[in-house]
Amino acid sequence: MNSNIDAVTVLLLLFLLHLGGFTRHAASEELASCLKTSGVHNFSIASLTENFPVNDHILKFSIQNRRFFRSSLLSPAAVILPHDLHSLRSSILCCRGSSFAIRLRSGGHSYEGLSYASSGDGPFALVDLMNLHRIDVNTTDRTAWLQSGATLGQLYHAISTASEENRPLGFSAGSCPTVGSGGHIAGGGFGLLSRMHGLAADHVVDAVIVTPDGRVLDRGGMGEDLFWAIRGGGGGTWGAVYDWKVRLQAVPHRVAAFIVNRSGSNRHIAELIEAWQWVAPDLPDEFYLSCFVGGSLPESVRTGISATFKGLYLGSSEEARSILSDQFPGLKLREEEVKEMSWIESIVFFSGMKKGSTVHDLLDRKLHMKTFFKAKSDYVRARISLPDLIRAVDLLSTEPKAYLIIDPYGGAMNRRRADEIPFPHRSGTLYGIQHLIEWMDDDDEGIEGYMQWIREWYEFMGPLVSSGPRAAYVNYLDLDLGRNGDAVEAKVWGEKYFLGNYERLVQVKTAVDPNNVFRHEQSIPPLATSVGFAGCSEAS
């Protein structure tokens, strides 16, 4: 009797597997037909083409963390590359009609790979925005329209090229030139000008979005709630932002920049960090001074723990040295260590690109040095004591593949309300910390040990950083904080990223995407009982 039951069970499972494969194939055919009928031809669907390596090449081109090259992760069933607003809208509607979940990718720098990979939740289509990279700069009113697939490097290059010689312009955003502007702005967008001008998202004045039901809306059409949510509420959640209109910032003709490494005993490095945390958040707004700490920093000329200080001052090198000589004498900044250059040259200087790179190289969207890494983040609102810093440096020195990036806040970051946009880490935040561990191919067999180390380090740092909740930055996604569930379950990680803004984000999500069309493992979920969406007008 039992053998008969077992046989029936096996047959049933085989039937269900066959049915599932047939259903997926039918859905793929439906998607392909819809895309072709709608005039979208630049796509690849795994189950319908023998040319899937082309799909694989496109998929991997913008995977910036090699940890997600692994086959154990669910890859997209389709890759679609829209080239204009019509093809973007058609891509969204065709995916919906074929029951494919949607992932959006602008640059592929998601720390957890959530713009192109999945750990479950069924088949999904990747809508890759890399061909949407047009940038139109208006120097008269100091604004720019940029498509979501444009990289920060492309944006900076376009601004610099368009700027008049006597009126140089810049934009406050991140330092990595291959980061996609769409995802960066969607999470806030902190960078070297943020102490002077705030976040990238603080300067968005309009946008064009394709909603889950295919409407094309500008700021007036989407309404202020959705416009609020897309500026810092996280990417891949609200719809597909096609275009952003941003306000540009005036920059000096010349700026001062330096990258200096300081080595010594663990105690000496801790003393430098302790002094830095009293200085950097309170420097003049024009001064950005970050601190990198680790055992194998690229600027270090010796083995062992060291600290690298990266400084940008919107003024002369003489003024920069004078300020730090007075406020941070322990850095012992020498005249020859500070360079004067144009703002756009400083972008190259801090970009991490290979030595000899030029302003023109900012147009290259390919990240040439890809590593495996895991990152976590924290915010600090009360300065850490020297004894605790010594303990931290002692522990950090035991893992040469781990390092910290410590970014100063203060300045303009303090002058905006915590609820002005979803990004809430404003007044009272002294600095943010990225905790990273990074390795290469020949070390990949040790991945479990690296992951365990960074998690134990994060636990060690818990008593020294913000609490109630322990805060994090949504552009440094960390799935260790939790994964999606309903709105109550997601609050565990949602409040870490958004603090008191989480509940409003849930309300907006419920209004604009009640069926959770745009979702990933840490997207804002809708409430179970949805409400209507009031947006109506078309974008011009």
Please answer whether residues 174 and 152 qualify as being in contact, where contact means their C-beta atoms are separated by less than 8 angstroms.
yes
171-189: per-residue pLDDT in tens? 999 999 999 999 999 999 9
Q: Domain range for residue 275?
A: 255-342+368-464
Does 119 lie in the same domain as 261?
no
Tokens of 100: 């494919």
Q: Render pLDDT for 367-398 as a digit per residue (tens, 0 to 9).
A: 988 999 999 999 999 999 999 999 999 999 99
Q: What is the pLDDT of residue 71?
A: 60
At which of 128, 157, 185 does a domain end?
128
Q: Which two tokens stand for residue 476?
A: 């440094």
Q: What is the DSSP string of 31-46?
A: HHHHHHHTT---EEEG
With 60 as the cut, is the pLDDT of residue 218 above it?
yes
Q: What is the CATH number of the domain that holds 459?
A: 3.40.462.20
What's the CATH code of the domain at 15? 3.30.43.10
* Contact (Cβ atoms closer than 8 angstroms) between residue 461 and residue 486: no
Judge whether residue 278 has pLDDT over 70. yes
Mean pLDDT, residues 200-208: 99
At 48 the pLDDT is 58
Report yes or no on 152 lying in a domain.
no
In a domain, residue 308? The reply is yes
How many Å apart are CA 97 and CA 490, to the nearest integer?
A: 27
CA distance linking residue 287 with residue 410, whole number of Å: 11
Query: What is the pLDDT confidence band of residue 123, given thresholds at 50, 70 and 90?
Result: confident
Asked if residue 490 belongs to a domain, the reply is no
Is 389 a member of any domain? yes
pLDDT score for 59: 86
- The residues with which 44 forms a beta bridge, in sequence order, are 79
- Alpha-carbon gap, residue 62 to 109, rounded angstroms: 8
User: One-letter amino acid identity for 176?
Assistant: C
Residues 124 and 265 in one domain: no
Q: What is the pLDDT of residue 9?
A: 53
Top-confidence residue, 22 or 460: 460
Token pair, residue 58, equals: 């496109």
Quick one: pLDDT band at residue 6, thresholds 50, 70, 90?
A: low
What is the CB neighbour count within 10 angstroms for residue 65? 21
Beta strands per DSSP E along 154-213: 169-170, 204-210
Residues 500, 489: contact at Cβ < 8 Å?
no
**Residue 403 pLDDT more than 50?**
yes
pLDDT for 52 equals 47
274 lies in some domain: yes
166 has a pLDDT exceeding 90? no
Cα–Cα nearest to 186, from 485, 535, 518: 518
Confidence check: pLDDT of 269 > 70: yes
Measure the CA–CA gap between 373 and 399, rounded to whole angstroms. 14
Whether 38 is in a domain gets the answer: yes
Average predicted confidence (pLDDT) for the chain: 91
Nearest in space to 118 (alpha carbons), one of 78, 72, 183: 72
Q: What is the pTM of this model?
A: 0.92
pLDDT band at 17 (very low <50, low <70, confident <90, very high): very low
Whether residue 314 is contained in a domain is answered as yes
What is the maximal distance between C-alpha atoms in the chain? Answer: 90
Instruction: Give whole-number Cα distances, 125 to 128, 187, 218, 313, 518, in Å.
Output: 9, 22, 25, 44, 11
Last residue in a domain, options 128, 145, 178: 128
Which of 464, 482, 510 delimits the end of a domain?
A: 464
pLDDT exceeds 60 at position 127: yes
Question: What's the confidence (pLDDT) of residue 312?
Answer: 99
Confidence grade of residue 266 (pLDDT, cut at 50, 70, 90): very high
In the predicted model, is pLDDT for residue 452 greater than 80? Answer: yes
pLDDT at 535: 39
Domain assignment present for 360: no
For residue 425, is pLDDT > 80? yes
- One-letter amino acid identity for 469? P
Calpha distance 494→488 (Å, rounded): 9
Interatomic CA distance for residues 267 and 495, integer angstroms: 35
Task: Please tell me the total count of domains within the chain.
Answer: 2
Predicted local distance difference test score (pLDDT) of residue 26: 82
Residue-wise pLDDT for 323-359, tens only, equals 999 999 999 999 999 999 999 999 999 999 999 999 9
CA angle 272, 278, 279 (to 5 degrees): 85
Residues 279-324 have pLDDT tens digits of: 999 999 999 999 999 998 988 777 799 999 999 999 999 999 999 9
